[in-house]
Amino acid sequence: MRDATALPHLAPSLATDDAPPVVRAQFTLSPDLRGARQRGQWMHRLMQSLPDVPRAARADAARRFLARAGVGADAVDAILDPVMRVLDDAQFAAFFDAGTRAEVPIVGRLMRADGAPQFVSARIDRLVVDSEDVFIVDYKSDRTPPDHPAALLWTERPLLMELPVPALDAALARLGIAAPA
C-alpha cells in the first residue's frame, strides 16, 4: 500500500481556467488575479463568520474586520456589498441558517479507472444538511460568473448554479477516475 502523501493530489481550489476543475495545478498568479484571490479570501472569511452575527450588526462587524485586515476604505464596499447581497438574499437563507457549517474539511481517496488510488482534499465553504438534502456550497468570488450553467454560489452577483452530473462525470473521466455507480 502506498503512503497517502505519495499519491497524486487533487485540490479543487487550485485549478486553473484551462485545466479540468478538479486538477491541482501549479501556476503563477498575475497581479490582477492575486488581487482577486485576496479579495475572494476576505469575502470567504466574511461569509464564514457573518451568519453568526446578528443581522443588524453584520455590516459594522465586517467593516471592522476589513479595517483590521488592512483593506483600504476605497475597497471595503467592493468586498462587502457582494457579501451582503448574498447573505441578505432570501433564496440563499437556508445556506446560512443556524446548524449549517462553514469551512468543513474533507479528505479521501478515490479509485482511478486504472486501479490506482487518488488522494483528494478540499474544504467545503458551506455544508447544509437537512432531512431531505445535502448541499455542498462552494463560493466563487475571484472570478466573474459564466453565462452558462455550471452548483456554485457566485458572490459577485448572488447566483446559485448547479453542476450537471454529466459534467462532473466527464471531469472525473478526464482524470481517469470512474464515476460512482
Q: Is residue 14 part of a domain?
A: yes
User: So what's the pLDDT on residue 22?
Assistant: 38
Q: Is residue 75 part of a domain?
A: yes
Would you place residue 120 in the very low, low, confident or very high pLDDT band (cuts 50, 70, 90)?
confident
Mean pLDDT, rounded, of the chain: 74
Q: Is residue 52 part of a domain?
A: yes
Percentage of residues in the chain having pLDDT higher than 90: 25
For 41, the grid coordinates are 479570501
Query: Does the pLDDT of residue 116 top 90, yes or no?
Result: no
Would you place residue 166 in the very low, low, confident or very high pLDDT band (cuts 50, 70, 90)?
confident
Q: Is residue 153 part of a domain?
A: yes
Q: Which of 144, 146, 181, 148 is nearest to 164 (CA)?
A: 148
User: So what's the pLDDT on residue 148?
Assistant: 45
Query: Does the pLDDT of residue 168 top 60, yes or no?
Result: yes
Query: Rounded to 5 degrees, what are φ and ψ at 128?
Result: -125, 120
User: So what's the pLDDT on residue 38?
Assistant: 84
CA distance 70 to 67: 5
166 vs 54, more confident? 54
Would you place residue 15 in the very low, low, confident or very high pLDDT band (cuts 50, 70, 90)?
very low
The whole domain housing 152 covers: 4-174
Q: Is residue 77 part of a domain?
A: yes
User: So what's the pLDDT on residue 151?
Assistant: 60
Q: Is residue 181 part of a domain?
A: no
Q: In total, how many domains does the chain have?
A: 1
User: So what's the pLDDT on residue 68?
Assistant: 93
Q: Is residue 148 part of a domain?
A: yes
User: So what's the pLDDT on residue 67?
Assistant: 94
pTM over 0.75, yes/no: no
User: So what's the pLDDT on residue 36?
Assistant: 74
Query: How crowded is residue 63: how many other Cβ atoms within 10 Å of its Cβ?
Result: 16
Q: Is residue 179 part of a domain?
A: no
Residues 87-98, mean pLDDT to the nearest whole number: 88
Query: Does the pLDDT of residue 65 top 90, yes or no?
Result: yes
For 106, the grid coordinates are 474533507
User: So what's the pLDDT on residue 113?
Assistant: 76
Q: DSSP string spanning the chain?
A: ---GGGS-EE-GGG--TTS-TTS----PPPHHHHHHHHHHHHHHHHHHHGGGS-GGGHHHHHHHHHHHTT--HHHHHHHHHHHHHHHH-GGGGGGGSTT-EEEEEEEEEEEBTTS-EEEEEEEEEEEEE-SS-EEEEEEE-SSPPPSS---EEETTTTEEE---HHHHHHHHHHTTBPPP-
Query: What value does the CA radius of gyration of the chain take, rounded to a whole number of Å?
Result: 18
